[in-house]
Structure 1
Amino acid sequence: MSNLLIQNLVKQLQDVQDGDLWLDENFIKKIDTLTPEQALTRPIPDIHSVAEIVSHLLEWRRDCIRKLQGQKSTLTIESNENWRSNNELKQIGWKKLKDDFYASQYHLIRLIEIRDDAFLAQECGTYTFQALLEGMIHHDLYHLGQIGISIKLLKVNGLLK
């Protein structure tokens, strides 16, 4: 029972959260020091706030977790929870959002680290679990970059030092 591929996916998930990536960034480095005001501010009207992006990532992780648990996926691109408003997120609170975001990554890892590599070839809707998990990693990295842009724009606008 081999799980080298699983171990590799787990390592990538851990690294993007709080690891020492070659790109010298991870989620904890990017978002941990932001105040609620900074996280919940759109740097310009058409650019998502950091909190909106984190919430978006959290919803897709939760969807992935449901799939790994054998539950039906209900999240779509059009779902209201896909992109929550800053007003909704203020009600949730930045600390809770961050805590839930970090916890979701560890929950996801716990669900896959007990599997073997054969699991990755199993179908999950129209794709395999391997495609699902690799897609989650790609999605995380894409939005880590977007968070970086939002933070730079907050600095340019004097909202962050």
Structure 2
Amino acid sequence: MQDNKLITNIIEQFLDLQQGERWLDENFRKKTADLDENQVFERPLPELHSVAELISHILVWRLESIRKIQNSAGDLSADSSESWKTNEQLREIGWRRLRSEFYKSTDMLVNILKEQEDTFLERISNDGYSFKQLVEGLIHHDLYHLGQIGITIKFLNRKK
């Protein structure tokens, strides 16, 4: 029998953030379900990122983390232009495709984690962090930006 209580808990947290109905009462599907193509690329204030920018940013870091987990390679930095694509770049991708890739990244990560035992979390990536720190950091990152999406949507709704 696999020892994967920690992995199972991490997977549940990722899935809750995507579409769960637990204590938080907020998730990415619920937050973005009723947004239209025009809203997602709009910055309600110059200082706030658009919903599309935030979703893209989360996606980029998830994919980077998946690369690190799969082969310990990754070269994205906080200063990378890939980390924050412009709304113009994201419009070319389109909201439907961006959102689809975002949800697929959750499935990819969950499927990778399902194959692991808890000892996997102790492995160290090339940047010196354990995989436990990496996946817990992703959860924190997702939750932080879910809150930002909520604020962005509130400001968008005030403009109506």
What is the TM-score of this pair, normalised by structure 1? Answer: 0.96
Find the counterpart in structure 2 of residue 115 from structure 1.
116
Find the counterpart in structure 1 of residue 41 from structure 2.
40
Find the counterpart in structure 2 of residue 89 from structure 1.
90
Q: Distance in 2 between matches of 1:4 and 1:24?
A: 24
When the two structures are aligned, how many residues end up with a matched partner? Answer: 158
AA in 2 matched with 1:129:
F
1:66-97 Cα deviation digits (max 9, x unpaired): 01111410111111110000000000000000
Q: Distance in 2 between matches of 1:94 and 1:71?
A: 30
Q: Distance in 1 between matches of 2:111 and 2:33?
A: 23
Q: Does the residue aligned with 1:89 lie in a helix, a strand or coil?
A: helix
1:126 aligns with 2:110: no
Q: Distance in 1 between matches of 2:88 and 2:99?
A: 16
% identical aligned pairs: 46
Q: Distance in 1 between matches of 2:16 and 2:63?
A: 19
What is the TM-score of this pair, normalised by structure 2? Answer: 0.96
Q: Distance in 2 between matches of 1:141 and 1:148?
A: 11
Q: Distance in 2 between matches of 1:34 and 1:76?
A: 30
Q: Distance in 2 between matches of 1:11 and 1:155?
A: 31
1:27-85 Cα deviation digits (max 9, x unpaired): 00001221110001001111000000000000000001101111410111111110000
- Gaps of at least 5 residues in structure 1 are none
AA in 2 matched with 1:106:
D
Find the counterpart in structure 1 of residue 50 from structure 2.
49
1:99 aligns with 2:100: yes
Find the counterpart in structure 1 of residue 11 from structure 2.
10
- Gaps of at least 5 residues in structure 2 are none
Find the counterpart in structure 2 of residue 151 from structure 1.
153
AA in 1 matched with 2:97:
K
Q: Does the residue aligned with 1:55 lie in a helix, a strand or coil?
A: helix
Q: Distance in 1 between matches of 2:83 and 2:62?
A: 11
AA in 2 matched with 1:127:
Y
Q: Distance in 2 between matches of 1:71 and 1:91?
A: 31
Q: Post-superposition, which runs of at least 4 consecutive aligned residues in structure 1 deviate over 4 A?
A: none
Find the counterpart in structure 1 of residue 73 from structure 2.
72
Which runs of structure 2 are paired with 1:13-28 in the superposition (5 Å)?
13-28=14-29
Q: Does the residue aligned with 1:81 lie in a helix, a strand or coil?
A: coil
How far did residue 21 of structure 1 move?
2.6
Q: Distance in 2 between matches of 1:118 and 1:72?
A: 20
Q: Distance in 2 between matches of 1:17 and 1:62?
A: 16
Q: Distance in 1 between matches of 2:29 and 2:46?
A: 25
